[in-house]
Homo-oligomer: A and B are copies of this chain.
């Protein structure tokens, strides 16, 4: 007879009385760029009143029908109960980020020591959860990642409700085999540099950790790290990240007059450079259109280390930057281009073959790394498909925020405000790309 292992009675009893399996168990379970941005916000614009809102771009998925409100509130409430631990703050203080020591100041760390996620407002409308986070910018901004990863994982859990033990085994076996095939394909690219950017839309915390382990194992030094601070700490990886649209969006909302509005994206860069002493100089140029951003940019922008191409079609976006640097007398081979929008192995390969050797290349791989379960279930399960869920700053200083982006259909904000922004920043070179994830 095969002997079963001795059951651990205490564990079994505990499991039977399990009330909550927390999704977010640490405030470090977030993207490092949120902490990097937070330090700038905390220094430059801490008290701007803002609203962050959850936006489900995949309207056909009725989240309120899939996820129980009680479960959602329990997870959000649990996240609010967590503070940064001593160990975490010591690590944040002592760790090097991008090779630089003490990126976070003592004063900022002290402020984090007492930080808690603030209240949220949640209601259901037309099958969707409307969740708002209102308050001072420095207080609210950290909600973005936990609220997204909580909803993403609650949705995964709901999708697997009632699925048998064996089917789950096949599901994860297939997902592992599938991811490993992707890793093997990527490993064919000799100069690849790629990081995990998949926290916000991950299938689950544990699955993201497996994905990171697979990348580390299969890609070696081609895998440069993870955007997730907790996983970087626990798995001895570099925490990788840049900055996001909320910085120029809030700065634009604060702008007094059209001239100030047009100059606001460059003011954001000034703040950033001041916070980080001329380090981490990566530009995210697409908030109000990459082309106009480059046209209007002061000369010193070409001195920055690189750009992150987000909403623009990646091949066109990369070519535009290379041309722009060349015209300004910069050698693109010394500049960094980071791609991170809806990447698949196919698009990574395309971009790599287009630009490898012509520029320093880096990829931030998200949803198709940490939440690609299509064809993995034994029976078709639409709930396993990742959705396009975001948490964006929607108001600042009493005014609605606006994002135009390089993709015409990705513009956000009230129609009248979008029109005003377009009249200032122009609408050319905006393609209508399908919004995937």
User: Using a CB–CB distance below 8 Å, which chain A residues touch chain B?
Assistant: 1-3, 5-6, 8, 10-11, 25-26, 85, 87, 164, 166-167, 169-170, 172-178, 180, 205, 210, 213-214, 217-218, 230, 234, 378
Greatest chain B CB density within 10 A among A169, A173, A174, A175 is at A173
Known A-B contacts A2-B25, A25-B1; the reply to A167 vs B378 at CB < 8 A is no
Please name the 6 residue pairs, one residue from A and one from B, whose CB atoms are nearest each other, closest first.
A173-B176, A177-B177, A173-B173, A174-B177, A8-B8, A166-B217
Copies of the chain in the assembly:
2
Determine the chain B residues whose CB is within 8 A of the CB of A3 once the complex forms. 25
Known A-B contacts A2-B205, A6-B10, A11-B6; the reply to A217 vs B167 at CB < 8 A is yes
Name which residue of chain B comes closest to A174, CB basis.
Answer: B177
Q: Which one of B10, B25, B214 contacts A166 once the chains associate, using CB atoms below 8 Å? A: B214
Name which residue of chain B comes closest to A8, CB basis.
Answer: B8
Q: With A1-B87, A2-B26, A173-B177 given, name 12 new contacts (CB 8 A).
A: A1-B230, A2-B234, A3-B25, A6-B10, A6-B11, A8-B8, A8-B11, A167-B217, A169-B176, A173-B173, A173-B174, A176-B177
Are B5's CB and A26's CB within 8 A? no
Are A85's CB and B1's CB within 8 A? yes
Give Cα A96 to B85, complex, Å.
62
Are A170's CB and B180's CB within 8 A? yes
Determine the chain B residues whose CB is within 8 A of the CB of A176 once the complex forms. 169-170, 173-174, 177
Query: Smallest Cβ distance from A355 to chain B, in angstroms?
Result: 29
Give Cα A205 to B2, complex, Å.
9
Q: Which one of B87, B166, B180 contacts A174 once the chains associate, using CB atoms below 8 Å? A: B180
Name which residue of chain B comes closest to A7, CB basis.
Answer: B8
Q: Could you name 6 residue pairs across A and B whose Cβ atoms are closer than 8 Å?
A: A1-B87, A2-B26, A166-B213, A169-B176, A169-B210, A170-B214
